[in-house]
Structure 1
Amino acid sequence: MSAPPRHIRIVSCNFELNGNGDYQKWLAMQQRLAALRPTILCRQETFGYAPAGRGATMFGESKRILKLAGALGPNRHATALYYDPEVFEQITVWDTEWPGWLLHPTAMTLRVRGTEDVDVVAGCAHLSYNSPTKRKAEAEDVTRFADRVETYKTEQGPVTRKLPVLAVGMDCNSYVDPDRLVPGENPIPELGEINDLPHRAHRSYEITAGQRIMDSEPDRILLTAGLEDVARHAALQPGGPGLAAVAPTVDACDTHGPAHRVDRVYATDWLLPAVVDVEVIDMTGLSDHHTLGVTYDLDTLIGLSRARFGRPA
């Protein structure tokens, strides 16, 4: 009898203002996330967490409830990245104190336990809420996650290779490329559908005098760097989750306009055959964003890595 598949789950969650001081709401979200059994959890808006003091106590409590290890992003600690230490060994927490970010990302190099060679990059990012110009620069910074080079010993001598990105969970605060929408997916909003005038400026940019288009630049930048929108990939697979994978992650409202898919997970394109499922998890009553869950087959992931790079010496 063959062994059952080993699945791992990536969860990306923007919890509005980390509960905004409401402990019971915060606790309810931790318990909700724990029930999803994430292997890697990308958290945005982790305001109130800190390396020391009360913030460290709250962050520690979150790790205890989730049964995960983790690290905070620098400065305002507005992002966090958690992982299951029984599945992954942390090799490196990246220095992401990059200039120009208000809400700095968090990133790690992780190794699949039981291997000496299957290393991946995981990250969490929250792009600028109000500035398309900053989002473009931040997305260009996120491409660094796809540019990590490590050296390994092999029978033929040292080999340098570029590590794959398993997942970067992001609040993109922008739209997918309209030319790459899944057939039947909600269209991106039009400028006139956004009633809040400042938000029109936040989510669009001028291409000629008086003509604005909706901001999809971060999506295009990441796609150019070989980082694919995992939900889009899953939705297009025969027998896959279909349009459920690309459901909106932000509901329609008076200020932001129609429902849209602002939260996304990106991964290195050659890892996509390991994706089993993608779902949007309803967080109504807990947050203004719904949560994204991505399931990978771990053995397929290991096989893809070794097929590409070979085994170590």
Structure 2
Amino acid sequence: MSRPATGLSHGSDPVRILSWNIEHGRAVKEARRWISRLPAEPDVVCVQELRPGDEELLQEPWGTGYVAEPRPGSSHANAIFVREDGDAAFVVTDAFDHPAVLGHAPANVAVRLRGPDGSLSDRALSLFCIHASFNSPTTRLIEAEFLNRFAQPGWLTVAMGDFNDAPAGTVVDWDEVTDRAFYAHRTYPLAGGERPTDDRADRTLRAAGYIDPAAWAAEHLRLEKDPLAPTAGYRRPDQGGLRRVDRAYVTGPLAPAICGYWVGDRIEDPELEDISDHLPVMLELDRTELSRLMSNRQASTAA
């Protein structure tokens, strides 16, 4: 099994948030078993494409599930599961509904960090599970602009999920992509008829002050594995091959807490490819630094 790659320049007691698009939940039991075997148990699990009723299969090992309302006509939804045992890092203090206008509604909860004595942090951390539109670059841009509402100065926000677009700077040879519908899905039109690779959601989030922790970790941490490894596309050579669509974003104040980021390895662990057409990703935040950030009474909160 793939082992988490941990940053070596921060503390040794990270809080872990895992995100995974489980492909319409067709192998949800196998996904549950895979996560349960991880040597580093996640404190939060964000799931995309969860089928109605399957949250009952996941609540026992992962905690209460906060499931977003499925989009009309869709058979799956976003969900956030937060550990609730005695050693749990977080306590959920609120859950929010964000009805889907065009795409999938995000799951969103506010959590407070539990201290060694059981006390809760002064400030809340806002967690989002996102599944961006697969076929509309316009919708993805709107969804990114929605997230920017939670990036105001001083706010503590983590958004993880399947963003279905390319990070800024991604180069794709679209002449080699034979699935032309996919080409239309992942590019956007300019006035002259050109269709560049759609990276506008990523650029919009970064413009608002969000940080891509995988890119941050690649620059600032020494990791065992590449945090910028691709997460999808390994089944679809007609769509241009591998790409990093499953990502995380954190607001700027959380950057000092980033201590690790890893992507599941389908080569070392072939079972992953059988479970889903996406690989899981995990963000690690240093607990001591996170506690400091969440104890600042003077700053605004995202909750």
Q: Which TM-score band (shorter chain)? A: 0.7 to 0.9
Gaps in structure 1 of 5+ consecutive residues: 20-24, 50-54, 148-160, 179-186
Per-residue CA distance 1:29-67 (angstroms, 9 max, x = gap)? 1111223321111111112x2xxxxx2xx3122111x33
Cα distance in 2, alignment partners of residues 286 and 67 from structure 1: 18
Question: Across the two proteins, how many residue pairs are aligned to each other?
Answer: 269
Larger helix percent = 1
Residue 66 (structure 2) aligns with: 71
| Structure 2 counterpart of 1:132, one-letter code | P
- d(CA) in 2 for partners of 1:305, 1:29: 32
Larger Rg: 1
In the TM superposition, 1:22-171 aligns within 5 A as: 25-36=27-38, 37-47=41-51, 49=52, 55=53, 58-64=54-60, 66-76=61-71, 78-85=77-84, 86-101=88-103, 103-113=104-114, 114-147=119-152, 163-165=155-157, 167-171=158-162
Q: How does 1:184-199 map to 2 (within 5 A)?
A: 187-199=170-182
1:195 Cα deviation after fit:
1.4
Secondary structure of 1:89's aligned partner = strand
- Residue aligning to 2:230: 248
The structural deviation recorded for 1:228 is 1.0
Q: Given that residues 193 and 258 in structure 1 are in contact (C-alpha distance below 8 angstroms), is that contact kept between their aligned partners in structure 2? A: no
Normalised to the residue count of structure 1, the TM-score between the two structures is: 0.80
1:216 counterpart residue number: 199
* Conserved 8 A contact 1:189-1:260: no
Moved over 6 A (4+): none
Q: Does 1:303 align with 2:292?
A: yes
Query: Which structure carries more strand by proportion?
Result: 1
1:226 matches 2:209? yes
Displacement of 1:138 in angstroms is: 1.1
Unaligned runs of 5+ in 2: 1-10, 266-271
Partner deviation per Cα, 1:134-167 (whole Å, 9 max, x = no partner): 11111111223335xxxxxxxxxxxxx85311x2
- 2:14 is matched with which residue? 7
Aligned to 2:166: 175
Please point out which of 252, 258, 270 is paired with 1:275.
Answer: 258
Residues 174 and 203, structure 1, Cα contact 8 Å, conserved in 2: yes
Structure 1 letter corresponding to 2:145: E
Structure 1 residues 124 and 87, CA, compared in 2 at 3 Å: closer, same or farther?
same
* Change in 2 beyond 3 A, CA 1:230/1:241: farther
RMSD of equivalent CA atoms: 2.0
Higher normalized contact order (CA 8 Å, seq sep 6+, divided by chain length): 2
C-alpha deviation, 1:241, in angstroms: 5.0
Q: Over residues 222-257 of structure 1, what are the superposed CA-to-partner deviations in whole Å (9 max), with x where a residue is unaligned? A: 111211111000010142457x10000013423321
Tell me which residue corresponds to 1:201. Answer: 184
Letter in 2 for 1:171: D
**Partner Cα distance (2:280, 2:67) in 1:** 19
Q: CA deviation at 1:307?
A: 5.5
